[in-house]
Amino acid sequence: MTSGGDAPGMNAAIRSVVRTCAYYDRECVGIYRGYQGLIEADFITLGPRNVKNIINKGGTILKSARSKEFRTKEGREKAYNSLKKEGIDGLVVIGGDGSFTGGVVFNQEYNFPVIGIPGTIDNDIYGTTHTLGYDTALNTTIEAIDKIRDTASSHNRLFFVEVMGRDAGFIALNAGIGAGAEEILIPEEDLGLERMLESLKRSRRKGKLSSIVVVAEGEKTGKSIFELADYVETNMPDYEVRVSVLGHMQRGGSPSCFDRVLACRMGVKAVELLLEGKTNLMVGLINNEIEATDLEKAIKGHHEINRELLRVSDIMSI
Ligand code: F6P
């Protein structure tokens, strides 16, 4: 199943799970709409040919959802009954930490084997340096910011660009550096409004005519991106300021080669772990190897941003 916010590479992971099952002569059943489809027994038997031509597709052919019903005991009981009725022996959940939390609770209550594949553009999961979809989202984001740069520079304007990440600044920090942003605001670090203003003023004095500030959705100044823009416009009246919110376009599109290969590797490992009788694990990329991490650890642990990047960003905006 795919669950939570969709991410590019989820289809490639579905394909990998299905084909690995076929390789080991096991039947594979796809579950539509995450845990909600599990509760409603919305299943489809999937063979290798059912997943043709999807490695390059964004979104998820199995659809995704955030199920409120699965948070209740009754919902989980229905889900267990659906699984038993269908003769399913193990579950591969492709999703983020919310989806894994559901998997852990389900495993505790029913001792049902669950393996997680981290799929979210946010990259905010412990136990993997890269989640599925993150690399693609970065590429989509810098492509969009590059386009904004063209118009920003033509009009000598300052652009505030909001990128996704309500709790994590991975996209903002990396896409911000990759797209040459002047300032980057992330949830993990509140550097304060004054600092941003000073940096913009300093750059202006040094002859910069246009600038881009990348802001993660969940940044910590407590101001909306429009309030941030107003604040700068009030304090730098000679600067024309514009706002661009990139939004869900960052979640779509064909997955990058990196995400496709990662999805293939993770899918193989997830099925092999189930076949070895393992449960409550998440597959992840660590030092370029696919490793298993305890699912609870993956949820509770914190994937730290690389602070070196903050320093690099600072130096680049001189
Ligand atoms: O977790 C992925 C994510 O895209 C976040 O970056 C974003 O804050 C959130 O999902 C948006 O959720 P929804 O699609 O429910 O609006």
Residue of 164, 167, 248, 251 to mutate, ligand 1, most atoms within 8 A of C-beta: 164
pLDDT digits (tens, 9 = 90+) for 94-147: 999 999 999 999 999 999 999 999 999 999 999 999 999 999 999 999 999 999
* DSSP assignment string, 49-61: GGGTT-TT--S-T
Best residue among 162, 163, 166, 170 to mutate for probing ligand 1, ranked by most atoms within 8 Å of CB: 166
Residue bearing the CA closest to ligand 1, atom 5 = 165
Domains of the chain: 10-133+255-300 (3.40.50.450), 135-251 (3.40.50.460)
CA of 239 relative to ligand 1 center, distance in Å: 32
**CA gap 104, 111 in Å, rounded:** 9
Whether 22 contacts 132, CB under 8 Å = no
Over residues 288-292, the mean pLDDT reads 98
Per-residue pLDDT for 222 more than 90?
no
Asked whether the beta carbons of 262 and 7 are under 8 A apart, the reply is no
- Decide: 171 and 134 in contact? Cβ < 8 Å: yes
Chain segment 50-92, per-residue pLDDT in tens = 999 999 999 999 999 999 999 999 999 999 999 999 999 999 9
CB 48 within 8 A of CB 41: no
The answer to pTM > 0.95 is yes
In short, whether 187's Cβ falls inside 6 Å of ligand 1 is: no
The bridge status of strand 91-95 relative to strand 157-163 is unpaired
According to the model, what pLDDT value does residue 246 have? 98
Q: In angstroms, how far is CA 129 from the centroid of its own chain?
A: 12
- For ligand 1, the distance from its centroid to the CA atom of residue 24, given in whole angstroms, is 35
CA of 5 to the centre of ligand 1 (A): 6
Band of pLDDT at residue 220, cut at 50, 70 and 90: confident
- Measured from the CA of 164, which atom of ligand 1 is nearest? 6
Tokens 């989202």 correspond to what residue?
137
